[in-house]
Amino acid sequence: MEMRGRRVLLCDCEKTMPLEAKALEKACRAAGATGELALETQLCRAQLGSLQQALLGEAPVMVACTQEAPLFSEVAEESNPQAELGFVNIRETAGWSAEAESRNATAKIAALLAEAALDIPATPSVSYESQGVCLVYGRDERALEAARRLAGRLEVTLLLKEPGEILPPRVMDVPVFRGAITRAAGHLGAFEIVVDGYAPAAPSSRGLLVFEAPRDNASSACDLILDLTGDAPLFPAHARRDGYLRPDPGDPAAVERALFDIVDLVGEFEKPRYIAYDPDICAHSRSRKTGCSRCLDSCPVSAIRSVGDIVEIDPQVCGGCGLCASVCPTGAASYQLPAGDAIFQRLRGLLAAYRAAGGREPVLLIHDSRQGAELVSMMARHGRGLPGAVLPFALNEVTSVGFDLLACALAYGAGQIVLLVGPEKAEELGGLAEQIGLAETVMTGLGYGGGRVHLLNEIDPEAVEARLYDLEPREPAPHGEFLPMGGKRTRLLLALRHLHAKAPTPLDVLPLPAGAPFGRVQVDAAGCTLCLACVSACPTSALLDDESRPWLGFVEESCVQCGLCRNTCPESVISLEPRLNFDNEAKGAVKLNEEPAFHCIRCGKPFGVQRSIERIADQLAEKHYMFQGREQIERIMMCEDCRVVVEFERPDAPMAGPPRPKTRTTEDYLREREIEEARAKLLEERAQGADDEETRH
């Protein structure tokens, strides 16, 4: 059987999966497969020849088994090193389930195969280099022992914080200092620390370690840090900081794991560049006025900092949680694992294939590819497994899910969405909860009913399994066929328009909570001077002007409610109203304010707002020492060009010089030549006439 040009090999894992070949072949054909289904029973052992034969073909091969992926990869390397080989898990996700024989489970297998057959683009990477310079930071003999054990593999320095009575080592095989780290920054291969109370151990230490005179603000650099103090971590969200290990010093097993792991952190490393940043559409700041700071507020590892009107994301520090991409209203920060719109293509393909294969009332289970996948495996091996209608959808980080992904999933036909995260990420769920709230508000407001998006913060597989089986089936919204084109904002609008078009109660204007990325700008026209500072501040061109007239317009669909216009307005006449407007007027420009133009009293050119110019003239006339006479007041009513001309026309102008000589052109010279020639001809004629008259007499 082939799926999207890939040769697919299926195995029922020694008949532990109750797969019905004809029903599965029918479902796969509906999902886009071609050819006949050959169902293997022991593909990794007795029927390994089927894989070898498939690898010799020209088509890429996809094996529906992940457990034996190392074996299959070894066979591929021996049989055909150029062969393209991929894997997909249908056993723990569908085949090992109490509902494995249901229609929904069969449709789910077809959908998982269709999703896995998609081409996923590679993610850009960022590199590290570690020379093995390691700082062990601790308090007692345990830290000294750890440092001495690492000394043979790494270049180790021991820093003791408030050390007690410690016996000096017989051989000082690691440098020992005392001090407390007051500031730490950096990442694997480039840590920087500042230490107060810094002092080296005295070489004359006899019964106990003693130290020389301390000093503050000592700075140092290292590649790795092993923190055995048991104090608060040196970095926020320290588990995501590459190169920083912080085991519990009271747990010998944890310390041993850390010692085992840290010695491998020497050399060159790569990790994904999780976030792509587009400064052109960033709504952070304009002209030192702050608007959106969602990414700065949400980043748990402090990898983002403000640099004027934009932000800067340190890819080495970034831990890949994706919270910045989740909450970014414009899509300036976008998650890139995988790159581009691959996640949305996967989502669309999975739900479309499930529906085409006959599946009903799908529940999308979004989980991470580590702990979440392990929970799914535990449920399949020791419990009832996933319900037939639950479609697993693995991401690198669930916290990267934004309103756009939730809206697209619901628009593509997901009846419900379950977001599975572990309790260790409880402090990172604020942004995710906000995105869920937006999705619930929209679905409730459009008449689909709330309770469609669930956040499951659980690590117990039995509890997760119970919650999934307790979900009441929900009829999904009529599915959409739109392509996930464009950036975040475009995809989100496509999904929302579809949901509105098919809604049971399609409200044209839906109120949203504060902080939502949709809404309108309201302007108090009575106080607005049409200075248009808001137009230049708007990062999404939602506010517009007109070069030919004093006019302020607004495109509601483009507004992300960043607040830059409100914070920039010198008159403080702008306010924001979060809402979702589905009316066609939201797509075009509407007038917020307009005034008649004031025309220059000298040349007639329009150059300002009539009300503003008249008000300025009235406020300054005979009240300011520079505007006491009529001529001075009239200069207020002139355009910028005429003011200069009039100033230099003053008889007492200090910079005035003699009148400029008239510019002479070729026409002037030709005209003078014609006049001279005519004058000469006339004189000649007069002289000739006089001679003739004298001759006659």
What are the domain boundaries of the chain?
1-87, 127-270, 273-335, 519-592, 597-649
Q: pLDDT > 70: what percent of the chain? A: 98
- Phi first, then psi: what are they for 521, rounded to 5°? -105, 130
If you count DSSP H runs as helices and E runs as strands, how many of each does the chain have, helices first? 20, 33
> 540 and 330 in contact (C-beta within 8 Å)?
yes
Q: Which H or E run includes 521?
A: strand 519-523
CA angle 23, 27, 31 (to 5 degrees): 165
Q: How many angstroms separate the first and last alpha carbons of the chain?
A: 131
Please give the single-letter amino acid code of residue 497: R
Q: pLDDT > 90: what percent of the chain? A: 79
- Name the residue with higher pLDDT: 288 or 220: 220
State how far the Cα of 563 lies from the Cα of 572, in Å rounded to an integer.
Answer: 12
Judge whether residue 194 has pLDDT over 80: yes
> 535 and 552 in contact (C-beta within 8 Å)?
yes
Read off the pLDDT of residues 76-104 as tens digits, 9 standing for 90 and up. Answer: 999 999 999 999 999 999 999 999 999 99
Matching fold, domains 127-270 and 273-335 = no
Judge whether residue 397 has pLDDT over 80: yes
SS3 state of residue 242? coil
Q: Which H or E run includes 496?
A: helix 488-501
Please give the single-letter amino acid code of residue 418: V
Tokens (6 digits) for 168? 């000096």
Read off the pLDDT of residues 614-624 as tens digits, 9 standing for 90 and up. Answer: 888 887 877 77
Instruction: List the strands of the sheet with 244-245, edge to edge.
Output: 218-222, 190-200, 176-187, 155-160, 133-138, 224-227, 244-245
Read off the pLDDT of residues 204-252 as tens digits, 9 standing for 90 and up. Answer: 999 899 999 999 999 999 999 999 999 999 999 999 999 999 999 999 9
Judge whether residue 155 has pLDDT over 90: yes
pLDDT on residue 657? 65
DSSP-based helix, strand, coil % in the chain, nearest 5 = 35, 25, 40
CATH number attached to the domain at 273-335: 3.30.70.20
- Name the residue with higher pLDDT: 538 or 626: 538
> Under CATH, which architecture does the 519-592 domain have?
2-Layer Sandwich (3.30)
* pTM for this predicted structure: 0.87
> 531 and 598 in contact (C-beta within 8 Å)?
no
Cα separations in angstroms, 498 against 211, 432, 434, 492: 71, 23, 22, 10
> 44 and 75 in contact (C-beta within 8 Å)?
no
Residue at token pair 């249908």: 90
pLDDT on residue 424? 85
The CATH topology of domain 127-270 is: FAD/NAD(P)-binding domain (3.50.50)
Please, which pLDDT band fits residue 612 given cuts at 50, 70 and 90?
Answer: confident
**DSSP track, 394-406:** EES-GGG--HHHH
State how far the Cα of 112 lies from the Cα of 71, in Å rounded to an integer.
Answer: 22
pLDDT on residue 631? 78
State how far the Cα of 521 lies from the Cα of 464, in Å rounded to an integer.
Answer: 44
- Phi first, then psi: what are they for 336, rounded to 5°? -120, 25
pLDDT on residue 692? 73
